[in-house]
């Protein structure tokens, strides 16, 4: 066999091969289109049935397959959008009741209601009016006398 005959045979095989690929591709596309058409028809058939009624309003008596009464019940448990809360403002305001903290509380002042400038606030919340000597005012009288 000469080279011309081999090339001609090869060309014929390739043409048949490409024709086969084209045929298979067309068959796949036709099959895909048929499947899509069948699925679409089935969905349309189901959606067109009257058993799939979608309510036009939320109510508590719906008996449709997608029962909006479940949504209505859940919404009924939520607070009305016009309700309000009373919160202590971020600045100012009065807090009543005990305050407990597991961390430090820092303030520029702690003011005891009814306290005076001659009192000091003890750790337990009591006020004390007693006078106490400061360390800088302690005097030592002789070596045997101790510290007073």
Beta-bridge partners for 147: 140
Cβ atoms of 84 and 75 closer than 8 Å: no
For 120, phi then psi, to 5°, come to -130, 155
pLDDT of 148 reads 46
Coil/strand/helix, residue 24: helix
Show the tokens assigned to 82: 């016009």
Taking the whole predicted model, whether its pTM rises above 0.75 is answered as: no
In a structure prediction context, what are the per-residue pLDDT tens digits for the chain, which is 148 residues long? 788 888 889 899 999 999 999 999 999 988 998 998 888 888 777 766 656 666 777 777 777 766 677 777 778 888 777 878 777 777 777 777 888 888 888 888 878 888 888 888 888 888 888 877 776 666 666 665 555 4
pLDDT of 12 reads 92
pLDDT of 19 reads 92
Integer Cα distance of 94 and 30 in angstroms: 78
């Amino acid at each position: 066999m000469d080279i011309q005959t081999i090339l001609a045979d090869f060309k014929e095989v390739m043409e048949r091969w490409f024709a086969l690929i084209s045929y298979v591709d067309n068959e796949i596309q036709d099959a895909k289109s048929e499947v899509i058409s069948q699925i679409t028809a089935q969905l349309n058939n189901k959606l067109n049935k009257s058993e799939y009624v979608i309510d036009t309003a939320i109510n508590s008596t719906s008996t449709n397959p997608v029962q909006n009464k479940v949504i209505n019940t859940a919404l009924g448990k939520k607070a009305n959008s016009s309700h309000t809360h009373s919160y202590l403002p971020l600045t100012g305001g009065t807090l009543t009741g005990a305050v407990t903290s597991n961390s430090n509380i820092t303030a520029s002042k702690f003011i005891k209601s009814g306290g005076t400038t001659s009192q000091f606030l003890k750790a337990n919340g009591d006020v004390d009016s007693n006078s106490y000597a400061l360390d800088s005012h302690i005097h030592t009288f002789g070596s045997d006398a101790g510290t007073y």
